[in-house]
């Protein structure tokens, strides 16, 4: 058995965490030879409930679970952390404006960014799920100047998976036959789920499904899928969000299969004319614990307009919180 991986999870008493933890200790993150040390962070009010989750973790008698630390202190949770899932975020309250939500979360993610800067492993991988995920990731990385921005990403894997599944259903094929789906932009309804480069068994997806279905049905269905789940289930998606968080982290520490990519929101380096300094979802390949934005994709006018619209939303979000960034 190798040295345990230190895995920190915030919002650990929440519903996404509840769907994630038991898959982690079953070996779905780093294989069934890799033991885990879990560090679970919660706000003080949620610690009693988290104790119940810890009892259930113990009751799994999982051979891979080395130990569990429960804390309300980010510096305890993130000490020597290898992998971090930032799930906890302030939920939108009644009458709350987007600015209030962003600023409430800015406090949480600034503090967590500073703690990561101080105590996490320099190789740490931090995946932000708590919404607004892209801007929360930006706040965290700006507060962690001694870590590379490449240590941070925000989750758009759920959008990617939704797009994959929807296209496969439309084509009547297996998801494994679909390649090169891309999610561009913000994890919000401004995101651009793109089929321009997608293939189904090597054939152009757009040629198979047609532009009308792509623009009129596929794009809005993917953009609004979260709201549709809430409408039908009465609660937000948790199991599929946990599945996507697990998938994004697994891709990040592993490697994408040849000829394919995944979508990940990372700090923009100006690729494809997207403004630098926002956390924006790109198609990326991964290998050796690192990611590369897919290069030299041809971008048509329709796609460019959609990609820039989502970038504009992220620039607006940044403008609402940048006075809180350290200089």
The binding site for ligand NDP (CB under 6 A) comprises 10-11, 13-17, 41-43, 46, 87-91, 108, 129-131, 133, 158, 226, 236-238, 241
Is the CB of 91 or the CB of 257 nearer to ligand NDP? 91
Is the CB of 241 or the CB of 321 nearer to ligand NDP? 241
Q: Which residue has the tokens 């709201």?
A: 227
Distances (CA, A) of 327 to 142, 145, 269: 9, 10, 20
Q: How far is the CB of 104 from ligand NDP (least distance, A)?
A: 9
Q: How far is the CB of 45 from ligand NDP (least distance, A)?
A: 7
Is the CB of 107 or the CB of 174 nearer to ligand NDP? 107
Q: How far is the CB of 110 from ligand NDP (least distance, A)?
A: 11
* Other CB atoms within 10 A of residue 2 CB: 9
Give the residue nearest to ligand NDP (CB). Answer: 14
Q: Cα(218)–Cα(114) distance, rounded to whole angstroms?
A: 40
Q: How far is the CB of 300 from ligand NDP (least distance, A)?
A: 28
Nearest to 256 by CA among 170, 166, 185, 157: 157
Residues in Cβ contact with 260 at an 8 Å cutoff, skipping those fewer than 6 apart? 179, 180
Task: Name the active-site residue from 160, 187, 197, 323.
Answer: 187
- Beta-bridge mates of residue 266: 280
Is 197 a catalytic site residue?
A: no
Q: Cα(266)–Cα(287) distance, rounded to whole angstroms?
A: 16
Is the CB of 222 or the CB of 278 nearer to ligand NDP? 222
Give yes or no for a contact between 120 and 81, defined as CB atoms under 8 angstroms apart: yes
* Catalytic residue ranges: 187
């Amino acid at each position: 058995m190798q040295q345990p991986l230190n895995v920190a999870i915030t919002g650990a008493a929440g519903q996404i965490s509840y769907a994630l933890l038991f898959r982690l200790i079953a070996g779905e993150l780093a294989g069934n030879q890799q033991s885990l040390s879990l560090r679970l962070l919660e706000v003080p009010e949620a610690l009693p409930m988290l104790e119940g989750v810890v009892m259930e973790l113990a009751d799994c008698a999982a051979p891979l679970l080395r130990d569990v630390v429960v804390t309300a202190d980010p510096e305890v949770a993130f000490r020597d952390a290898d992998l971090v899932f930032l799930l906890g975020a302030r939920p939108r309250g009644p009458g709350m404006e987007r600015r209030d939500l962003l600023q409430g979360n800015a406090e949480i993610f600034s503090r967590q960014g500073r703690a990561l800067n101080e105590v996490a492993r320099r190789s740490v991988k931090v995946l932000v799920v708590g919404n607004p995920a892209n801007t929360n990731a930006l706040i965290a990385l700006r507060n962690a100047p001694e870590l590379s921005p490449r240590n941070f990403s925000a989750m758009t894997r759920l959008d990617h998976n939704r797009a994959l599944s929807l296209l496969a259903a439309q084509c009547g094929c297996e998801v494994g036959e679909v390649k090169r789906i891309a999610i561009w932009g913000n994890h919000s309804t401004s995101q651009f789920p793109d089929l321009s480069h997608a293939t189904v068994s090597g054939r152009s997806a757009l040629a198979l499904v047609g532009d009308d279905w792509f623009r009129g049905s596929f794009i809005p269905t993917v953009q609004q899928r979260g709201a549709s789940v809430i409408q039908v289930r009465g609660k937000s998606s948790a199991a599929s969000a946990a599945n996507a968080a697990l998938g994004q982290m697994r891709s990040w520490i592993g490697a994408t299969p040849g000829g394919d990519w995944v979508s990940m929101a990372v700090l923009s380096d100006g690729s494809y004319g997207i403004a630098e300094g926002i956390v924006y979802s790109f198609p990326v390949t991964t290998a050796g614990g690192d990611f590369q934005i897919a290069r030299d994709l041809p971008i048509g006018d329709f796609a460019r307009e959609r990609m820039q619209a989502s970038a504009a939303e992220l620039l607006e979000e940044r403008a609402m919180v940048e006075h809180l960034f350290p200089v």
